[in-house]
Amino acid sequence: MDIKSVIRTIPDYPKPGVMFRDITTLLNDAQGFRSAVDALVLPHAGTKIDKVAGIEARGFILGGAVAHQLSVSFIPVRKKGKLPWKTHAQEYALEYGTDVVEIHVDAIEPGEKILLIDDLIATGGTAEASIKLIERAGGQVAACSFVIDLPDLGGRARLEALGKSVISLCQFEGG
């Protein structure tokens, strides 16, 4: 299935000049959703993955499904203040200011191999912060997988510069 064909593009959202890549149409297409999850799982079949970490919020949907298929547990990577217990936190830069992602302190055992999942890689800031967070908690990021790559924004190159394997199911040119 051509996953790219079931992703909606919304021009000028959330601001003028941005082409928003909306995966809700993919999630709403049973065959498309299944194909995307299968394609995210396939590169890791037969490899050692202990847990899947999904970045808030669409990474929860995809990561949960991937974790289920791999028969491993799931780690939510959340925005600051959303998790109810003790957390590890990692700050990262935004266009105007900073943000923070967190995981529970007991989410990862030292040495566990973690597959990081999100819907889209753009600049790579949130993914890089998630990698640093996972590694600080003692995990090893085995790979980073995304449905969409926006290569013009440099996120893939940013993560590969950290020595991480990056997999995407489709690419859209531009931002």
Every domain of the chain and the residues it spans: 48-171
Task: Confirm whether 112 is a catalytic residue.
Answer: no
pLDDT in tens, the chain (175 residues): 899 999 999 999 999 999 999 999 999 999 999 999 999 999 999 999 999 999 999 999 999 999 999 999 999 999 999 999 999 999 999 877 899 999 999 999 999 999 999 999 999 999 999 999 999 999 999 999 999 999 999 999 999 999 999 999 999 997 6
The catalytic position among 21, 58, 78, 156 is 58
Residue 157's pLDDT is 97
Q: Strand pairing partners for 73?
A: 51
Residue 3's pLDDT is 96
Q: Given 3.40.50.300, 3.40.309.10, 3.40.50.2020, 3.60.70.12, which CATH number is that of 48-171?
A: 3.40.50.2020
3-state secondary structure of 131: helix
Task: Confirm whether 95 is a catalytic residue.
Answer: yes
Q: Which of 143, 135, 147 is nearest to 159 (CA)?
A: 143
The catalytic position among 8, 21, 95, 102 is 95
